[in-house]
Amino acid sequence: MRVTSAQVRRYRVRVQQLDRAPVAERSPGDADLLDIGVQDTGPDGALWALAIRGVPLTAGHWPHDLALAWTVRGAPHAYRRADLREVERTLRPFSEADAAKRVLNAAGPLKAAGIPATEALATTARTMREVVTEPLAKGELSTRMTAAMPDPYLRWCEACQATHMYEMPFRLAALHAGLELEPGTAPPVVRRIPRWPESQVGVVERDGSGPDLLRDLLHLLGPLTPKQVAAYLDAPARDVVARWPSDAVAIEIDGVEAQILEADAEALHDAEETDAVRLLGPYDPYLQAGDRALVAPDTSRHASLWQAIGRPGAVLARGEVVGTWRPRAKNKALGIAFDEWVPWDAATRAAVETEHARLAAFRGVEPR
């Protein structure tokens, strides 16, 4: 099947529910993206990503039905609280090579000490569970973990001028320990997840249970290649290829091949244009699939849209990124500085102003 990149963008708007109007009675967990987790980075983060998909949420008010945990790439992600046990199973390493890749610079010292990365994650998780008997700020938890862990788990940090654990094993082990993040805390506070089974603490071997994350990623972010999915997960490509869904089918997008679930192929081909205009947060899932040339065909814009530090949000209009935005808050008013990539027509400009007011209301301030 051949499709255009515009069809893919329209499909993603639909499947990610960016065209939904807000409904006051909608439950906090009623967003399909929670199946893969919604990254909570930046001042608006996951709550704004859910709000622009029609979930009635406001800044700083996390409903009990949602939970926050360090997961994919060590970043904080929001999930349905009821799903956390399955999420933990789904995010266990595919293999020893996968675990070693995910822990980044900790892999070398652990290997030199004869400690498999999977064992290191399990040990860290069990120790962390013992240490966190009450909510602890990250710094205090780090201090206690440094005192409890042997040398191969520790490193000298030039920036902190102190010895502490390698960052990625520290973060990735937390959910395996049955720990979540307390939303809205900076530095983050780590606490136990209520009623977490002790039998699930420190278990990192995959048992085949839980949802298939690769399928969910292909459905919500697809079409994608195994290499793109591997990059998204920080996993080895060969592990992703070995577990690739058997019902994935090839799609040619403007001459470039990717894959999508067979059940989604028709929806992709028939994706219709939407009038939706949204102010995407800097780390919105729509911007995270990894195929940047598809999301923003003008490659000269990539450096500014995906800045390593201080990146802007994106203005999405009718399935196309047509500019960027940055908040300009002052007192109890929210201004926004826009960079228009293309000339906006009157309808787009009016819709952007509506979304500006929506973001201000989400933050509990007035637009200006």
Chain segment 188-241, per-residue pLDDT in tens:
999 999 999 999 999 999 987 778 999 999 999 999 999 999 999 999 999 999
77 domain residue, yes or no: yes
Q: Is 258 among the domain residues? A: no
Could you report the per-residue pLDDT of 137-172, keeping only the tens digit for each? 999 999 999 999 999 999 998 888 889 999 999 999
Is the same domain home to 189 and 305?
Answer: no
Nearest-angstrom CA–CA distance, 298 and 276: 21
* Res 160: pLDDT: 82
Note the pLDDT of residue 159.
81
What's the pLDDT score for residue 161?
85
Range of the domain at 317: 277-367
Instruction: Judge whether 336 and 366 are in contact, CB under 8 Å.
Output: no
Q: Give yes or no: residues 99 and 189 share one domain.
A: yes
pLDDT at 23: 92
pLDDT at position 184: 92
Q: Is residue 186 part of a domain?
A: yes
- Matching residue, tokens 């729509």: 286
pLDDT of residue 26: 96
Confirm whether 178 is domain-assigned: yes
Task: Show which of 200, 220, 251 is a domain's final residue.
Answer: 200
Q: Is residue 216 part of a domain?
A: no
**Is there a single domain that holds both residue 293 and residue 166?**
no
Residue 162: the pLDDT is 87
**pTM score of the predicted model:** 0.96
Q: Is the distance from CB of 355 to CB of 318 less than 8 angstroms?
A: no
The verdict on 6 and 153 lying in the same domain is: yes
Task: Please name the helix (run of DSSP H) or strand (run of DSSP E) that holds residue 248, with its range, or none.
Answer: strand 248-253
Residues 188, 283, single domain; the answer is no
Q: What is the reported pLDDT for 334? A: 96
8 A C-beta contact, residue 364 and residue 59: yes
Q: Would you say residue 160 lies in a domain? A: yes
pLDDT at 96: 97
In a domain? residue 132: yes
193 lies in the same domain as 283: no
The answer to whether 17 and 278 have CB atoms below 8 angstroms apart is: no
Residue 70 domain flag:
yes
* Domain final residue pick, 149, 168, 200: 200
* Domain-ending residue, one of 171, 200, 229: 200
In a shared domain, residues 170 and 65: yes
Identify whether residues 190 and 103 lie together within a single domain.
yes
pLDDT at 207: 85
Q: What is the DSSP string of 180-219?
A: EEETT-SS-EEEEPTT--GGGTT--S--S-S--HHHHHHH
What is the full per-residue pLDDT of the chain (368 aa) written as tens digits? 999 999 999 999 999 999 999 999 999 999 999 999 999 998 899 999 999 999 999 999 999 999 999 999 999 999 999 999 999 999 999 999 999 999 999 999 999 999 999 999 999 999 999 999 999 999 999 999 999 999 999 999 888 888 999 999 999 999 999 999 999 999 999 999 999 999 999 999 998 777 899 999 999 999 999 999 999 999 999 999 999 999 999 999 999 999 999 999 999 999 998 899 999 999 999 999 999 999 999 999 999 999 999 999 999 999 999 999 999 988 889 999 999 999 999 999 999 999 999 999 999 999 98
Does residue 195 sit in the same domain as residue 291?
no
The 8-class DSSP code of residue 169 comes to: H
Q: What is the structure's pLDDT at 194?
A: 96
**Share above pLDDT 90 across residues of the chain, in percent, rounded to a whole number:** 93
Sheet containing 256-261: which strands, arranged edge to edge?
2-3, 248-253, 256-261
Residues 157 and 57 in one domain: yes
Same domain for 306 and 194: no
Domain count, the chain: 2
- pLDDT at position 330 is 86
Q: Are 189 and 283 in a shared domain?
A: no
